[in-house]
Amino acid sequence: MTHTTTCAPSVELDPACTPAHIENRSFEIIDAEIPEPRPFEGALWSVARRCIHTLGDTDILRDLRLSSQGLEAGVAALLAGCTVYTDTRMAAAGLPMRRLEPLGVTVTPLMALPGLAELAASRGTTRSRAGLESIAQNMGGNIVVIGNAPTALLGLLDELAQGAQPPALIVGMPVGFVNAAQSKELLRQSPWAHFTLLGRKGGSAVAAACINALADIALEKRGLRDVAAL
């Protein structure tokens, strides 16, 4: 199949047109634009490349912080059928269940917790932070994904400082101008297994992309990679 266009006939289009082909071509382009040696190798590069692909921005590589500790812990948690807690429904929507159901993984957006608005109002905080505080005693062995709310990431770090069981992995990539960069810098300085993207950039989509990359690795370990094919 070839592309045609009437508005810009002089523009050469890439022939990729199916979801799988487009994704593979995107990864080829990223690999070509960021040649070896790269700051990440092997499975970590698979995570980094998916983050770059999601944001369409190779410049994020210098601010991306990924660790082998976080990758191993995250994959192990997924293989154990953990719960993935997300700060927003948008982040949860970025996690296709075709990748997670074969692993026995469930996704719980904090915003879906009952009574959250009332709890946040009573505590004078955001719903995302109130939600994080609500699940603080259930984080051990699970994964927490924060792509939108710095208040949730700050709340998570506060709960951990007070002795809460740490998640297997924290994906802390809130986006924005108010405490987004600060909360991620505090996460970077913490001892907890984490992935983060320093600075103001981030978002639900790139945070979810990290879990999708880890899920692909977990599925491959189980011999189930084909079930997640696009």
- CA atoms of 144 and 193, how far apart (whole Å): 11
Given this model, what pLDDT does residue 202 score? Answer: 97
Contacts of 162 by beta carbon, 8 Å cutoff, 6+ apart:
none
User: CB–CB of 66/206 below 8 Å?
Assistant: no
Given this model, what pLDDT does residue 23 score? Answer: 84
Catalytic residues: 53
pLDDT in tens, 100-157: 999 999 999 998 887 878 888 888 877 888 888 888 888 999 999 999 999 889 999 9
Given this model, what pLDDT does residue 230 score? Answer: 46
Given this model, what pLDDT does residue 117 score? Answer: 80
Contacts of 10 by beta carbon, 8 Å cutoff, 6+ apart:
none
Contacts of 167 by beta carbon, 8 Å cutoff, 6+ apart:
85, 139, 140, 141, 142, 143, 144, 192, 193
Given this model, what pLDDT does residue 115 score? Answer: 80
All domains of the chain, ordered by start, with CATH?
63-228 (3.40.50.10230)
Chain centroid to Cα 220, Å, comes to 19
Locate tokens 């812990």: which residue? 73
- CA atoms of 15 and 178, how far apart (whole Å): 42
DSSP state of 35: P
User: CB–CB of 95/120 below 8 Å?
Assistant: no
pTM of the complete model: 0.89
Helix (H, G, I), strand (E, B) or coil at 106: strand
pLDDT mean by block of 10 residues, the chain; 230 residues: 57 75 89 93 96 96 97 98 95 94 95 81 82 86 95 92 95 96 98 97 97 96 70
| Burial of residue 186 (number of CB atoms within 10 Å: 0-12, 13-18, 19+) | middle
